Amino acid sequence: MGLKIGVLGYRFMGKAHSNAFARLPLFFPDAPDVERHTLVGRDEEALADAADRFGFAHTATDWETAIDDVDVFYNLGPNHVHPEPSIAALEADVPTFCEKPLAPTVEDAGRMAEAAAASDAVAGCAFNYRFVPAIQYAKNLIDAGEIGEIRQVRGSYLQDWGADPEDPWTWRMDADLAGAGALGDLGAHTVDLARFLVSDQAGDIERVSGHLETFVEERPTGEGETKPVTVDDAYTAQAAFENGATGTFEASRVAMGHKNDHSIAVHGSEGSLAFSLERLNELEVLRGDGRGYETVLVTDESDPYVEHWWPPGHVLGWEHTFVHEDYEFLSAVRDGGSFEPSFESAFGVQRVLDAIERSDTAGEWVDVDA
């Protein structure tokens, strides 16, 4: 039998990873064998239906029981559910994979990173955009010095699902449950990509200046009542890297006309790179005299992960990032190796997010590690 997988959560991310588990043996023959063992949730009827559709043999309404029965634990629940189950799994030396952001608060994220450091088990955080082939291609170009010394990083993540004031309240709009709004939900991805792409050349983010804004302060619950929105709808931030490079980041849930528009650009002394999730098979590359970008279609067999899929030119999609991510994590579990992004890396992202919030409160630049 393969690795017995336990998954907490059966909605958006539970479905995405269950799809990835099913794809692994078809396209990654060297991937570990996995058994979709236990699906964890609260609503027994909905849980049973999801387990049937996702191919899980067992269900549980108690995550502690599930941890005892599985070889690998995926914590894909809401943000406030991340710390305790993940820490308990790591204390039992069960390899643990957790959704991002790592926790609602930097304090909880620190506890999780400490638990991972003390455990013999692999721990990983779900920043799936690292595993887009074009992002891996960009990372390779930057590491090879193709665009020279890093000078600027620009990232934005724009959505519009909260633009209508009548859109219903969700747990993502509650600071106690989510920690932050667009900053934590979307900004975490951008900060992680920035650190992943340039930290080896530019160093880490040292200080930030941030601004958060809530445009709709209460939302209908669907029961004739409203609840307050206690997180941000949008944020902007400036950042300073160790080598003097600058960063500008933003995210919004109220940017009309943008469904899932995540973009990042890196400018160096000898060239630039630009990526958009809306064209995730492409990377814009500028070298030399700066007279125009070349669009590179990252679908050749020699490109990261592409050899596992279709003939050259047959594009991949968002769901493939989860297959790549789970392939790397589960291979690390099987082989006793390491995985990135680790809990420590995710804690680094959380420190930046926390600094942006502190900057907004203070109205001034703040040090990330203050």
pLDDT at 56: 98
Last residue of a domain, one of 104, 128, 152: 128
Q: Would 327 be classed as within a structural domain?
A: no
pLDDT by 10s per residue, the chain, length 370: 799 999 999 999 999 999 999 999 999 999 999 999 999 999 999 999 999 999 999 999 999 999 999 999 999 999 999 999 999 999 999 999 999 999 999 999 999 999 999 999 999 999 999 999 999 999 999 999 999 999 999 999 999 999 999 999 999 999 999 999 999 999 999 999 999 999 999 999 999 999 999 999 999 998 789 999 999 999 999 999 999 999 999 999 999 999 999 999 999 999 999 999 999 999 999 998 778 999 999 999 999 999 999 999 999 999 999 999 999 999 999 999 999 999 999 999 999 999 999 999 999 999 999 8
pLDDT at 215: 97
pLDDT at 63: 96
Residues of the domain holding 229: 133-317+342-362
Q: Assess whether 67 and 154 both reside in one domain.
A: no
From CA 156, how far away is CA 351, in angstroms rounded? 19
Last residue of a domain, one of 109, 128, 147: 128
**260-284 tens-digit pLDDT:** 999 999 999 999 999 999 999 999 9
Last residue of a domain, one of 71, 101, 128: 128
Q: Assess whether 241 and 285 both reside in one domain.
A: yes
Question: Are 5 and 70 spatial neighbours (Cβ–Cβ below 8 Å)?
Answer: yes
Q: Would 347 be classed as within a structural domain?
A: yes
Number of structural domains (the chain) is 2
Q: Would 11 be classed as within a structural domain?
A: yes
Tell me how far the alpha carbon of residue 186 is from its chain's centroid: 8
Bridge partners of residue 89, in order along the sequence: none
User: The domain that contains 202 carries what CATH number?
Assistant: 3.30.360.10
Residue from 207, 189, 196 nearest 142 by CA:
196
pLDDT at 19: 98
Residue from 111, 119, 44 nearest 82 by CA:
111
Q: Would 323 be classed as within a structural domain?
A: no
Question: Are 9 and 75 spatial neighbours (Cβ–Cβ below 8 Å)?
Answer: yes
Q: Assess whether 101 and 236 both reside in one domain.
A: no
Q: Would 325 be classed as within a structural domain?
A: no
Question: Are 111 and 137 spatial neighbours (Cβ–Cβ below 8 Å)?
Answer: no
- The three-class DSSP label of residue 345 is helix
Q: Assess whether 83 and 175 both reside in one domain.
A: no
Which residue type sits at 24?
L
Q: Assess whether 230 and 93 both reside in one domain.
A: no
Question: Are 176 and 80 spatial neighbours (Cβ–Cβ below 8 Å)?
Answer: yes
Give the tokens for residue 251: 């995210």
Q: Assess whether 121 and 138 both reside in one domain.
A: no
Q: Assess whether 97 and 139 both reside in one domain.
A: no
From CA 324, how far away is CA 304, in angstroms rounded? 10
Q: Assess whether 166 and 180 both reside in one domain.
A: yes
Question: Are 281 and 313 spatial neighbours (Cβ–Cβ below 8 Å)?
Answer: no
pLDDT at 290: 74
Give the tokens for residue 61: 């309404």
From CA 204, how far away is CA 198, in angstroms rounded? 8
Q: Assess whether 79 and 209 both reside in one domain.
A: no
Residue 142 host element (H or E): helix 133-143
Q: Assess whether 238 and 353 both reside in one domain.
A: yes
Q: Would 336 be classed as within a structural domain?
A: no
Residue from 45, 49, 39 nearest 9 by CA:
39
Q: Assess whether 138 and 58 both reside in one domain.
A: no
From CA 98, how far away is CA 252, in angstroms rounded? 23
pLDDT at 288: 82
Q: Would 208 be classed as within a structural domain?
A: yes
Tell me how far the alpha carbon of residue 216 is from its chain's centroid: 25
Q: Assess whether 224 and 351 both reside in one domain.
A: yes
Task: Tally Cβ neighbours within 10 Å of residue 46.
Answer: 12
CB pairs under 8 A, 24+ apart, for 212-218?
212/180, 212/181, 212/183, 212/356, 212/357, 212/360, 214/181, 215/254, 216/162, 216/165, 216/254, 218/169
Bridge partners of residue 240, in order along the sequence: 207, 246
Q: Would 41 be classed as within a structural domain?
A: yes
